[in-house]
Structures are given as structure tokens and as C-alpha cells.
Amino acid sequence: MTDDQTPAPAPAPQPEPEQAAPEQATPEQAAPPRPSAPRPQAPRPHAPRPTAPTPAAPTSDPSKFGRVADDGTVFVTTSDGEREVGSYPGASPDEALAYFGRKYDEIVAQVDLFEQRLGTADVPASEIESGVAKLRAAAADAHAVGDLAALHARIEALAPALAARREHDEHARSAAREEAKARRTALVEEAEAIAAVPAERTQWRADGLRMKQLFEQWRTEQKAAGRGGGHSTGQGAGQGGGEPPPARLDRRSEDELWKRFSHARTAFDRKRRQHFAHLDEQHEEAREAKERLVKEAEALQTSTDWGPSAAAFKRLMDRWRAAGRAARKDDDELWTRFSAAQDAFFAARHAVQAEQDAEFGANLATKESLLDEAEKLVPVSNLTEARSRLRDIQDRWEAAGHVPRGDMDRIERRMRAVEQAVRSAEDDRWKNTNPEARARAQSAVDQLEVVISDLHEQIAKAQTAGKAAKVAELQASLEAREQWLEQARGALADFGA
């Protein structure tokens, strides 16, 4: 039911004549009455008419609330007296009253239907107001016979429902406005939070998509409020079972929120443009730097100066990593060229080394034999002989030449272990024959022997004097010095004394 519609009248049990004018119902529109004699007031020849179903009787007794004058005019009784409602030519007084009684029943049916809707659904205030106004207008000038006073009372009794619905709708609109404002504010705050993230920490794809989604949500909210905002309508109530439609924000709140939202979107877009402009600059710088590195690598790829060129390629690789990334397409193309030059150089070096390794196999066998001879010098029992034999082995080692690269570290480690064992034996011998160290060891022994002798004398005196505590203290000191003396004598013995 919409604003411009009154409650639909209850269907009549069967078709009935409609009133063509306030004062008179025409024979063409009126149901033909049963055959009867002409009215006494206006005698006319009787003409037979086709029979029709007998109209349904009114639900109320119209004879209590109206009358039919001799000339066929029908009157209804009101609190202000009688009022003419029309006439029903060619019908008996009972039929005329029944006809206008049914007109009254139609209005009553409309009131019944409206009251039922008020009791079973949340009809918005605008629909109640429109319906009451139309019912009131229909009852005020009703061309019907019935208890019009009771009808007016029932219609006016709808006023409290109208007031309650107005209050309910106002609260609902206010709550809806607050909810809408809260939703819009949440969108604004999230957009501001995204815009506030520093560029280096921004997830551009995800954050850009989320900012777009927030804008779509804003538009959805705005469109929904534009369709249903402002005042409730019968259509809105019918769609939502009486729930108020989306509320339009007040102009000030909407403008303030939109300014914040628009500012956040603008700030995010500006930051994104600046970031990608700077990124493009970095990509261009990286591309230029890597092009120079590619040219250097391509110039080195045919070099046969294996050691220095391999070191140069390592430095180029370090510079490549430090150059940063160019645009994906450029970076991939440059890397393909760089790695091709690098692979060409190392493939050539590997081929040469493979040939050399085949030649160096005999040298490896010679050096492994020398290692077996050298490792027999350990542990060193005769330093002079071990040192002499090791020098001879080292001379033959150098004369044997290069070995395959894969075996070089292994045999070099074994030879270094023998050399270290001989050096350690030399160091130990020096320590044992160093005159200054021996003199320091002898001095430590002499001093401790004097201190221990003195402690023996002090203990004897304390025992004579009966000083048990002093004896215990001196005894502990004596035991410590005796341990030190034993260690000092052991060190002195290492020098062969």
C-alpha cells in the first residue's frame, strides 16, 4: 500500500450498483429491484424488467440510521440531524436503504482492514497518516446509511497509533542516521589509516584494492541513502517489514566525512604516484648500471687469464647485487646477457682445468708418496733429524709440480700438519733450553724453600706457646707453599736440571 492509496475495500458478495452522483443512483448502475407496483408518488406504467440476483443484505440494519422519503430520497441520521445521501429510483425503500447500507459497510470494511494492518505489521507513519486522512474524508461525506458517529469514532481512534508510529519512525530514523554515520566514519578511518602508512611499508596492490573497495562501499551507502533517505515511505515499509529505509546523513556530517575520505584517497594516490615515480628512477639507474656491468662481463668472457679474470667476475657479481633491480623485463634481459658471459668464461676455464687435471695426476701420486714419508716423522723424537728430512721432503714436494685442483686442499692440509708438528717440537726445545727461563724457575724454587723453612719454625713456636689457632693457620699456609714448590721443581726439571 502506497501513500496515494487507501485501504482496499472488502469485496462484496456479488456485484452491486455503484452510485453515479451524490444525490441519485441511476437505474443503469443500480441493481434492478424485484418486480413491484409503481410508486404512489409518481405513477408510471409498469414494464417488466429482467430478473437479477438479490443483492446481499447489509451487515448492519440501515433502517436504524436512515429513512427513505416519499419521493425516494434517502437520508442518514447524524448528530447534527438528517443528511441526504442520494436516491435509488425504481427500488423499494428497503432496497434503497439496503443499497446505501452496503455503502456504509464498504467504508466499515476499509476501517476493519486498516485496523488489522495496524495490528499485524509495522506500518510507517506516512501510510497511517495518508490512510486515516482518506478514511476521514470518505466518512465525512459518505453517501451511505449507518452508524456514522461510531464510524467517525473508530477512525479518530487511529490517531494514537499514528502518533506512536511517528515517534517510532523518528527514533528509527535517528538510530539509522547514527548507524550510517558510524559506518561512514569506519570507512573514513580505515582509509586514513591506509593513507598514513609510510611508502616503504605500503602493500601497494593489497592497499590499493582495499581503498577501491572502501570507495565502492561509500558509494553503496550513499546510493542507498539517496533511494530511501529522509522520510519513511509506504514502499520502504513494505520492502522491509516496517524497518526504516537507509537514512541520509545530515549535510554537515556528510560533507565533513566526505572531505576526510576524499583527502585520504588523494593522499594515498599522491603517495603511490610519488613512490612509483621514484621507483622508475631507481629502475632506470639500475638498468644503466647493469648495462655497464654486462659490457664489462662480455669483454672478459674470452679472457684466458684465469685467476685475475675469475676474481674480476666475482667483483662484477658483487656490483650487480649492489646495483638494485631494474624493471622486470629489463632486469631479466640484462641478467640473461650477464650470466651468459659469466658462464662462457667459467666453462672455458673448466675445460682447461680438466685438461690440466689429467696431466697433474702423476704429480698427485708423487706428492701422496712424499706425504707418507713426511707423516712418519711425527711424533718427533729427534728434532735435528726430523728437521733435516722435512727440508728434503719439502724440496721434492715443490719439484713435483701442480696437482688437480680437487685434491690440492686435501694434500696441502696433510703437509701443513707435519710442518706444524716439527715447529711445535722446536718451540718446546727452546723453552727447555732458555737460560733466562731456567733461572726464573730456579729462583722460584729457592724462594719457596726459604718460605717453607720459615713456616716450619713459626709452627714450632706456636705449638710451644699453645696457640692452636695460629698453628692451624700456619699449617694451611705451609701446605699451599709445599704444593707450589712441587710445581716449581717440576718446571725446573723440564730444563734438564
Same domain membership, residue 133 and residue 7: yes
Residue 237 near residue 245, CB atoms below 8 Å: no
Taking the C-alpha atoms of residue 397 and residue 481, their distance in angstroms, rounded to an integer, is 53
pLDDT tens digits, one per residue of 56-71: 556 678 888 888 888 8
What pLDDT sits at residue 485? Answer: 82
Task: Kindly state whether residues 133 and 9 are assigned to the same domain.
Answer: yes
- Global pTM exceeds 0.85: no
| Number of domains into which the chain is organized | 5
The residue among 491, 1, 414, 424 whose CA lies nearest residue 234 is 1
Which cell numbers in the block locate residue 20? 453515479
How confident is the model at residue 495, as a pLDDT? Answer: 63
Q: Are residues 332 and 457 in the same domain?
A: no
Domain co-membership, 319 together with 348: yes
What pLDDT does 271 receive? 92
**What pLDDT was estimated at residue 446?**
87
Instruction: Judge contact between 106 and 10, C-beta under 8 A.
Output: yes
Domain shared by 374 and 347, yes or no? no
Task: State the pLDDT at residue 433.
Answer: 67
The per-residue pLDDT for 429 is: 73
Could you tell me if residue 254 is inside a domain? no
Whether 192 and 227 map to the same domain: the answer is yes
Please indicate, yes or no, whether residues 95 and 114 belong to a single structural domain of this protein: yes
- Answer yes or no: do 9 and 122 share one domain: yes
pLDDT digits (tens, 9 = 90+) for 152-207: 888 888 878 778 777 877 888 888 888 888 999 999 999 999 999 998 899 999 99
- Long-range contacts of range 435-443, CB-CB < 8 Å, 24 or more positions apart? 437/495, 438/492, 438/495, 438/497, 441/488, 441/491, 441/492, 441/494, 441/495, 442/492, 442/497
pLDDT beneath 70, residues of the chain: 1-59, 119-123, 125, 226-246, 432-434, 494-497
Is 214 in the same domain as 115? no
Other beta carbons less than 10 A from residue 419's beta carbon: 14
Residues 60 and 153 in one domain: yes
Domain with 298 in it: 278-359
Judgement on whether residues 380 and 450 belong to the same structural domain of the protein: no
Q: Which of 325, 341, 359 is the last residue of a domain?
A: 359
